[in-house]
Amino acid sequence: MSHSLRRSAVIVAVAAVTAIVTLAGCAGTQNDFLRELLNPGIDFSSVPTAPLDDHSKADGVKEALRIGIGRTVDTSSKTDGYLKNESIRIPVPERLDCADAAPTTACSRCQVDRFEISMNRAAEWAAAEAGDVFFNALQDMTIAGAADMVTGCEAKATEYFRAENSDAVMDEFRPIITEKMTEIGLYSLYEGLNERCAAPPLDLNEYVSRRALDGLFTVLAGEEIRIRQDPDARTTALLERVFGSK
């Protein structure tokens, strides 16, 4: 068989195997498999590497969280970072979404819409200052069970980080969101809307703070998964070493 025919056969085989491997697991596994397939005769397993001990794995987990937090803050703090992201957008509480039920003015709908936009703007402004809160918690966190956390495609590190630090992070984040809610005039908008809807009292600070923080953890989880699956997202040598071979 000629060289060109052999190469064509390999390309067809790669396409077929890629589809199978994609269904089977993470992108890192795909990359390792395809690298070996496209380079027959080279024993990649024999290339010497330093042992990936528990300490290195823990450092890798922290590095993934550190990089992920930075990206989370960057994307979430942009204009429409919350409002146009359906996975974290803060909705108007049902009790306050009464424009259609009681349209006492021509602009009752726009009043509700303005309230929703303002909640999400407050979250976006607060996200810009959330980095220090998350980084401080990360710096003081001891990683237990890192060996398990570096395997698989799930956001295991984010789940661990959230379980260990959620309350402490909320305690520091709540005053930030309160300040942004005040700056944007959200409390005045709430009072007017609440009066119109004759709704039961709502702890607005708790509602917006909790939703805003949940949104940050959601984005962080997505960033962690991207680091696990996308080689381009592993932007440091440590990330590549810890997650690139999984």
Domain-wise residue ranges, the chain: 3-46, 54-243
Band (pLDDT 50/70/90 cuts) for residue 101 is low
pLDDT at 119 over 90: yes
- Dump pLDDT digits (tens) for 227-237: 999 999 999 99
Please state at what angle helix 186-197 crosses helix 204-229, rounded to 10 degrees. 120
pLDDT at 70 over 80: yes
- Dump pLDDT digits (tens) for 17-41: 444 444 445 554 445 544 444 455 5
| pLDDT score recorded for residue 105 | 54
Q: Which pTM was predicted? A: 0.78
Report the mean per-residue pLDDT for the chain. 82
Longest CA–CA separation in the chain, Å: 81
Percent of the chain at pLDDT > 90 equals: 60
| pLDDT score recorded for residue 178 | 97
pLDDT at 63 over 50: yes
pLDDT at 147 over 80: yes
pLDDT at 42 over 90: no
Label residue 200 exposed, middle or buried (CB < 10 Å: 0-12, 13-18, 19+).
exposed
Average pLDDT on 202-214 reads 97
